Amino acid sequence: MSELLDMLHQHKIVAILRGIEAQHADQTAQAIIDGGVRLLEVTMNTEGATAIINQWRTKFGDGKARIGAGTVLDVEMAREAVAAGAQFIISPNLDEEVIAYGVERGISVWPGCMTPTEIVRAWKAGAEAVKVFPMASLGVKYLAEIRAPLNNIPMLATGGVDIDNIGDYFRAGACAVGMGSKLVNLDWIRAGEYERVTERVRQFVQVAASL
């Protein structure tokens, strides 16, 4: 098990930052880390994503957190992300070239998959874990069903997670969950209310740790 996969199992939550503005980035990352989440993903369709990734690696790369890139659709985007310092790559889709690129460089790649066929293809291509997406539409019963025959493949469930149902995701077999706006409220960030962000993150971390 790689260090990143071990962290995924241990910390159970990946914070997804989409649309974060550069001027708020550092304080937001600090607020998330203060709340207890150690895996931070900046989506590549965020303006200035590579600059933020690079900035966070410099500021938080001494063991405080692991910084990854999300919404990585192809190898070209993967190259940009890794050049910026991304330590892991997450995609909404399955692209075996991206997995191979990560494997060659020791970078964890967690591709987006929906069907059992995609999940097994990703696993055979070298993905250590897969992102089951879109969970908000698929539902936790779907996750429980596919986990039954594919229980040896770690699954990061992304979409639809909130404080009331996060336990259902883990009981259905997720090793971790990916969370965006339900975890990190951009309106609070823009208002400078970083303490509220930290407290919200802490609530999710406490629930996840109890499961």
Catalytic positions, please? Answer: 41, 131
Residue partners of 94: CB distance under 8 A and separation at least 6: 111, 112, 113, 118, 121, 122
Please give the Cα distance from 35 to 29 (Å, whole number). 10
Query: Torsions phi, psi of 13, nearest 5?
Result: -135, 130
Cβ atoms of 110 and 89 closer than 8 Å: yes
Backbone conformation region of residue 58, classed left if phi is above 0, alpha if psi is from -120 to 50, else beta? alpha
Buried b (16+ CB within 10 A) or exposed e, 95-121: beebbebbeeeebbbbbbbbeeebbeb
As a whole number of Å, the end-to-end CA separation of the chain is 21
Residue with tokens 């989506």: 43
- Structural tokens at position 49: 């994503």
Greatest CA separation found in the chain?
46
Q: Which of 110, 107, 30 is nearest to 70 (CA)?
A: 110
